[in-house]
């Protein structure tokens, strides 16, 4: 298990599972009309994926710039998610 963590394979597996989860939610919404659409889930999942990629970069001794880039992208995705969820005032 330690080898899976140190070489990033565990993070790769989690990323694949998150992408499968997103596809399943999108397909469920398209088929039934229930739940969130794939587009509404995307900013939230992108924030999480970017954090996982930052962790993977750190575990595999990638340059600090990659870690910083993925953390920054996660922040951007998080703000986008909040923007989409924030209630709009009706005029």
How many angstroms separate the Cα of 47 from the Cα of each of 2, 30, 88? 25, 23, 22
Residues ≥6 apart with Cβ < 8 Å to 13: none
* Interval 56-84 mean pLDDT: 95
Domain ranges of the chain: 2-85
Token pair in block for residue 76: 């951007």
From the list 48, 55, 91, the residue with the least C-alpha distance to 73 is 48
Please state, for a pLDDT cut of 90, what percent of the chain lies above it: 67
Written as six digits, the tokens of 53 are: 């990629």
Please tell me the distance from the alpha carbon of residue 78 to that of residue 56, in angstroms, as a whole number.
19
pLDDT of the residue at 3: 77
pLDDT in tens, 25-59: 999 999 998 888 778 889 999 999 999 999 999 99
Beta carbons of 73 and 50 less than 8 angstroms apart? yes
């Amino acid at each position: 298990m330690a080898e899976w963590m140190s070489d990033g394979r565990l993070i790769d597996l989690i990323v694949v599972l998150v992408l499968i989860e997103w596809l399943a939610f999108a397909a469920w919404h398209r088929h039934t009309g229930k739940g969130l659409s794939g587009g509404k889930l995307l900013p939230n999942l992108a924030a999480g994926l970017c954090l996982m990629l930052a962790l993977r970069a750190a575990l595999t001794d990638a340059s600090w710039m990659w870690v910083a880039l993925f953390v920054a992208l996660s922040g951007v995705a998080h703000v986008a998610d909040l923007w989409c969820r924030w209630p709009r005032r009706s005029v």
